[in-house]
Chain A
Amino acid sequence: MLRQFNQFILSFRDSVKDILPIVIVIAFFQLVVLQKPFPNLEQILIGSLLVVIGLNFFIRGLNMALFPLGESMANAFARKGSLFWLIAFAFCLGFGTTVAEPALIAVADEAAEVAAKGGVIIDSVVSRSSYAFQLRITVALSVGIAIVVGVIRILKGWPIQYLIIGGYIGVVVMTMFAPEEIIGIAYDSGGVTTSTVTVPLVTALGVGLASSIKNRNPMVDGFGLIAFASLTPMIFVMGFGIIR
């Protein structure tokens, strides 16, 4: 009981360290640069406490559920030996986790607003929401394809840099043809696709796959799925901008 309590205090201290930099930055700018007092200090303290508790629980759950789950599924797929189902799973995981991602929904809505203001689509509620929906599907498709390509890379043991550099060339070429107003949105969409729950799962899946296949190094081959998932949306969204 005492040991568990000690452990709790220790991990609590770690989480405090994680958010300390933000607290220092905000306090410095508020008090020294802007020279203003803190409004409702009590609310800020309670909020910070919640952040620390939340982070602590998240990391605990990470090691209990997300990591073991990703790895055990990778092992199970490797044992089953069915390429079709592994690829189907990879696609569903990429598509399914992205299409409902709140950050993506926010960016898609903003993008629709830009398009409406720029005269690309008619400025009405219906056309804006259909534009935002199509954009979301485009990004989700691109992430699904990214995870599939990433999984095939792990199976084949292809070096990641050739695929990434190929992707970069794709981004540069698309930038030359894409309409001006979509470029910023496309570049940003690569960053918003990977959520806090997806990242640990996908990482554990990749590492698990690489460790269950002979002659693969989990460090060299296991990582990289997230990289594909942040690269392909840029290309697909610019493609979407060209076709529209």
Chain B
Amino acid sequence: MELLQYLGETVIMTILDVLPIISIIFGFQIFILRESIPHIKNVIIGFAYVLVGLAFFLVGLEEALFPIGEVMAQQLTDTAFMYGHLERVAETVHWSDYKWVYIFAAAIGFSTTIAEPALIAVAIKANQVSGGAISVWGLRIAVAIGVAIGIALGSYRIVTGTPLHYYIIVGYIIVIFQTMVTPRLIIALAYDSGGVTTSTVTVPLVTALGLGLASTIPGRSALIDGFGLIAFASLFPIITVMAYAQIGQWVTERKKKEDEDDDS
């Protein structure tokens, strides 16, 4: 019963969140474009599906996955888990003490990205526009690997306390270099994939991980060092998506070469 009430409240909250978008769209449609929307009935039903779907999705995450995931992030970063087998907690932390944290960071980054609705949407669109050349799952997995690397590296950064901008600047240099050699068709999509990775599913769990790490490691401040994981999660997918296109191109070229060799 409580769950139903919560669901109802979340549906209303989602409607309020989407209200600005709806009013801008319909405002422009009615007053500026002065055209009726094609298949208006379908669009309204579709909007209702989106709102109800998002509300169910959010309530489900908050009921099932977020509480346990957040507790897990705290437990894994807790010194009691890490040094439980030792008599005394070490004075200074060594980055390798946190190996389970990096594995958890990568795993949770990968799996939450696979479930990210905004990424599913972009992957479906890219598949349609490319005429099937870009596969929905291929793109999603490429992005998810990028987020996994990003979050794991971001956790390492919080543990070691190195400045955030060093990593970001090196990442930018890699992106610029890849842009020069990658197939032209993928460039815009790759840049986009950085922005879509981090929304409903990823942000809460990753924030819990960052804050947990920063608050348990001596010398780190949760308020200053806890930030930055999202930035990593938005940068590395750009690199992996371009790599995905490069590998795809390489495989096709090799195949073509082999076919030519067979012919001769």
> Is A161's beta carbon under 8 Å from chain B?
yes
Q: Which of these binds chain B: A1-9, A58-66, A126-134? A: A58-66
**Contact: B192 with A29, CB < 8 Å?**
no
**Contact: A54 with B124, CB < 8 Å?**
no
* Min CB–CB distance A8 → chain B (angstroms): 13
* Contacting residues of chain A (1-49) with chain B, CB-CB under 8 angstroms: 18-19, 21-22, 24-26, 28-30, 33-34, 38-39, 43-49
Instruction: Evaluate whether A73 and B203 lie within 8 angstroms (CB atoms) in the complex, with A57-B52, A222-B129 already known.
Output: no
Do most interface residues of chain A lie in helix, strand or loop, or is the interface mixed? helix
* Contacting residues of chain B (32-46) with chain A, CB-CB under 8 angstroms: 32-33, 35, 37-39, 42-46
Q: How many A-B residue pairs have CB under 8 A?
A: 337
**Contact: B45 with A220, CB < 8 Å?**
no
**Contact: A50 with B129, CB < 8 Å?**
no
**Contact: A219 with B185, CB < 8 Å?**
yes
Q: How far is the CA of A204 from the CA of B35 in the complex (A)?
A: 19
Q: How far is the CA of A181 from the CA of B112 in the complex (A)?
A: 28
**What residues of B have a CB within 8 angstroms of the CB of A139 in the complex?**
none
> Is A80's beta carbon under 8 Å from chain B?
yes
**What residues of A have a CB within 8 angstroms of the CB of B114 in the complex?**
18, 21-22
> Is A145's beta carbon under 8 Å from chain B?
no
Instruction: Evaluate whether A48 and B64 lie within 8 angstroms (CB atoms) in the complex, with A25-B107, A29-B72, A55-B57 already known.
Output: yes
**Contact: B192 with A196, CB < 8 Å?**
no
* Min CB–CB distance A63 → chain B (angstroms): 7
**What residues of B have a CB within 8 angstroms of the CB of A54 in the complex?**
52-60
Query: Which residue in chain B gives the minimum CB-CB distance to A76?
Result: B33
**Contact: B76 with A73, CB < 8 Å?**
no
Instruction: Evaluate whether A191 and B198 lie within 8 angstroms (CB atoms) in the complex, with A57-B52, A100-B17 already known.
Output: yes
* Contacting residues of chain B (131-186) with chain A, CB-CB under 8 angstroms: 164-165, 168-169, 172, 175-176, 179, 184-185
**What residues of B have a CB within 8 angstroms of the CB of A88 in the complex?**
32
| B46, B55, B228: the one within 8 Å of A184 (CB) | B228
**Contact: A161 with B187, CB < 8 Å?**
yes
Q: How far is the CA of A101 from the CA of B14 in the complex (A)?
A: 11
Q: What band does the interface of chain A fall in when counting residues whose beta carbon is under 8 Å from B?
A: 35 or more
**What residues of A have a CB within 8 angstroms of the CB of B32 in the complex?**
80, 85, 88-89
**What residues of B have a CB within 8 angstroms of the CB of A187 in the complex?**
164-165, 168, 227-228, 230-231
* Min CB–CB distance B90 → chain A (angstroms): 20
Instruction: Evaluate whether A34 and B194 lie within 8 angstroms (CB atoms) in the complex, with A58-B117, A198-B21, A203-B121 already known.
Output: no
Encode contact with B along A181-204: 1 for CB under 8 Å, 0 otherwise. Answer: 101110110111111111111011
| B51, B76, B234: the one within 8 Å of A33 (CB) | B76
Q: How far is the CA of A222 from the CA of B57 in the complex (A)?
A: 29
**Contact: B24 with A29, CB < 8 Å?**
no
**What residues of B have a CB within 8 angstroms of the CB of A49 in the complex?**
60
Q: How far is the CA of A164 from the CA of B54 in the complex (A)?
A: 31
> Is B233's beta carbon under 8 Å from chain A?
yes
Binding site for A on B (CB under 8 A): 3, 7, 17-21, 23-25, 28-29, 32-33, 35, 37-39, 42-65, 68-69, 72, 75-76, 81, 100, 104, 107-108, 110-112, 114-115, 117-118, 120-122, 124-126, 129-130, 164-165, 168-169, 172, 175-176, 179, 184-185, 187-189, 191-192, 194-201, 203, 223-231, 233-234
Closest 10 CB pairs of A and B: A47-B64, A65-B46, A64-B46, A57-B53, A54-B56, A61-B49, A184-B227, A50-B60, A54-B57, A47-B63
Binding site for B on A (CB under 8 A): 18-19, 21-22, 24-26, 28-30, 33-34, 38-39, 43-69, 72-73, 76-77, 80, 85, 88-89, 92-93, 96-97, 99-103, 110, 113-114, 117, 160-161, 164-165, 168, 171-172, 175, 180-181, 183-185, 187-188, 190-201, 203-204, 207, 217-227, 229-230
Can you show 6 pairs from A to B with CB atoms below 8 A apart? A65-B47, A93-B21, A96-B20, A161-B176, A187-B231, A219-B129
